[in-house]
Homo-oligomer: A and B are copies of this chain.
Amino acid sequence: MQSIIPVKLPQNAYEIHIATDGLKEIGKKAKSLNIGKKVLVISNPEIFDYYGQTVIDSFTQEGFSVNYHLIPAGESYKTLDSISKIYDTALNLRLERNSTMVALGGGVIGDMTGFAASTWLRGINFIQIPTSLLAMVDASVGGKTGVNHPQGKNLIGAFYQPKLVLIDPLVLKTLPEREFRAGMAEVIKYGVIWDKELFNRLESANNLNSMDVLSADLLSYILERSCLAKAEVVRRDEREGGVRAILNYGHTVGHGVESLTNYNTFVHGEAVAIGMAVAGKIAVEAGLWTEDELIRQNDLIKKAGLPLDIPATVDREDLLDSLQLDKKVKAGKVRFILPTEIGKVIIRDDIQTDLLRNCFRAS
Contact = CB atoms under 8 A, between A and B. Distances in A.
Interface string A112-139: 0000001111110000000000000000
A158 interface: yes
A152 B95 CA distance: 13
B149 A91 contact: yes
Contact of A156 (B120, B149, B151, B159): B120
Contacts of A88: 149
A237 to B, nearest CB: 14
Given A10-B11, A122-B144, A155 B91 contact: yes
Contacts of A87: 80, 149, 155-156
A92 B136 CA distance: 34
A146 B88 CA distance: 16
Interface of A: 10-11, 80, 84, 87-88, 91, 118-123, 144, 146, 149, 151-152, 155-159, 239
A250 B146 CA distance: 37
A11 B158 CA distance: 16
A91 B122 contact: no
B144 A91 contact: no
A33 to B, nearest CB: 17
A36 to B, nearest CB: 11
B121 A155 contact: yes
Query: Of residues A121, A122, A144, A158, which shows the largest number of chain B Cβ atoms within 10 Å of its Cβ?
Result: A122
A245 to B, nearest CB: 13
A146 to B, nearest CB: 6
Contacts of A121: 155, 157
A146 B239 CA distance: 21
12 contacts: A11-B11, A80-B84, A87-B156, A88-B149, A118-B158, A119-B146, A119-B157, A119-B158, A120-B155, A121-B157, A122-B144, A122-B146
Top 8 A-B pairs, shortest CB-CB distance? A122-B157, A119-B156, A91-B151, A122-B159, A91-B149, A122-B158, A119-B158, A80-B84
A80 B119 CA distance: 11
Nearest to A10: B11
A101 to B, nearest CB: 14
A119 B122 contact: no
A209 to B, nearest CB: 34
Given A10-B11, A11-B10, A149-B91, A123 B80 contact: no
